[in-house]
Amino acid sequence: MAIWNLGSINADMVYAVPHLPVAGETLAATGFQQFLGGKGANMSVAASRAAAHVHHIGAVGPEGKWAVDRLMEYGVDTRHISQGDTPTGHAIIAVDPQGENQIILFPGANRAIGVDQLGQALTQANSGDILVLQNETNLQAEAAGMGRDMGLHVCYAAAPFQAEAVQAVLPHLDFLILNELEATQLHAATGKSADSLGVRDVIVTMGAKGARHFDGQAGAVHDIPALPVTPVDTTGAGDTFTGYVLAGMDRGMPIRQAMGLAAKASALMVTRKGTADVIPDLKEVQDADF
């Protein structure tokens, strides 16, 4: 089986700051590093490092070859990433000493993916493969509909959260992952709680409290605890969790077992500074002693 990821690709410009800036403030950074990032790219790298076969569907600009090369180095199939005139997406990320962040996104090429490009990629997917989407590209609803028609397992990570974007893909979803606040916002927008969305598997991540799985088939709820670590940078930890869960599901692992592995991967991730480039591989995760 394989994972098909319609996903963003960003250059992450990460600034260490003494505190997150407030309106009108000019703040000197104490450090700067650049990483490969984007919620989509982070998920592709996480799933690939967790031993899944991942095809990334996305777009970069004229200067974006480095990002495609980097994804390839991490084992991601990049044949369905196009290069066009719109500049590569980037993110300006401030990280404070507690590891909390603030992110400004420039979507760029991530919102210029062609419908033909998407269709051509998905014709190569097989029934039972996983299709994953996030809210940093265009064509999410189109992809979800195509995926459903083709018998793919359609998954959505509702980040960055927008209730309308989730609602547009909801009828096609087999799997939805979102955080506690987003689950509350979705409830306010739809009147439905996580267990009544009509989606087979829903995971709500709850930060230091762990994650909760709502099994729509069995009508059961399971909690997975978070692991106790001191964070230095929480950026990309959620994407790492999602990528590891998807890779586990792709291997036929029970979802709770995949969530356990994903919790370890994201715990390791928050102890590292950076995004896609520092996502731990399966061996590191298995060997990690918490």
Q: Is 136 in the site for ligand RIB (CB under 6 A)?
A: yes
Contacts of 146 (CB under 8 A, 6+ apart): 118, 119, 122
Pick from 13, 16, 72, 103 the residue near ligand RIB by CB under 6 A: 103
**Strand, coil or helix: what is 128?**
coil
Pick from 42, 44, 117, 266 the residue near ligand RIB by CB under 6 A: 42
**Cα–Cα dist 159/133, whole Å:** 9
If the CB atoms of residues 91 and 169 are measured against ligand RIB, the closer one turns out to be: 91
**Strand, coil or helix: what is 134?**
strand
The number of C-alpha atoms within 13 Å of 201 and in the hemisphere containing its C-beta is: 21
**Cα–Cα dist 46/77, whole Å:** 13
| Contact between residue 42 and residue 157 where contact means Cβ atoms under 8 Å apart | no
Pick from 7, 37, 58, 64 the residue near ligand RIB by CB under 6 A: 37
Span of 35-43, 52-60, 183-191, 257-265 interacting with ligand RIB by CB under 6 A = 35-43
Residue nearest to ligand RIB (CB): 37
For residue 171, the minimal CB distance to ligand RIB (Å) is: 26
Q: Is 13 in the site for ligand RIB (CB under 6 A)?
A: no
Q: Is 279 in the site for ligand RIB (CB under 6 A)?
A: no
For residue 93, the minimal CB distance to ligand RIB (Å) is: 6
**Cα–Cα dist 47/9, whole Å:** 15
Q: Is 174 in the site for ligand RIB (CB under 6 A)?
A: no
Q: In what order do the strands lie in the sheet with 175-179?
A: 77-83, 54-60, 3-6, 130-134, 153-157, 175-179, 201-205, 211-215, 220-224
Q: Is 242 in the site for ligand RIB (CB under 6 A)?
A: no
Q: Is 77 in the site for ligand RIB (CB under 6 A)?
A: no
* Contacts to ligand RIB by CB under 6 A: 8, 10, 12, 37-39, 42, 91, 103, 105, 136, 235-236, 239, 275
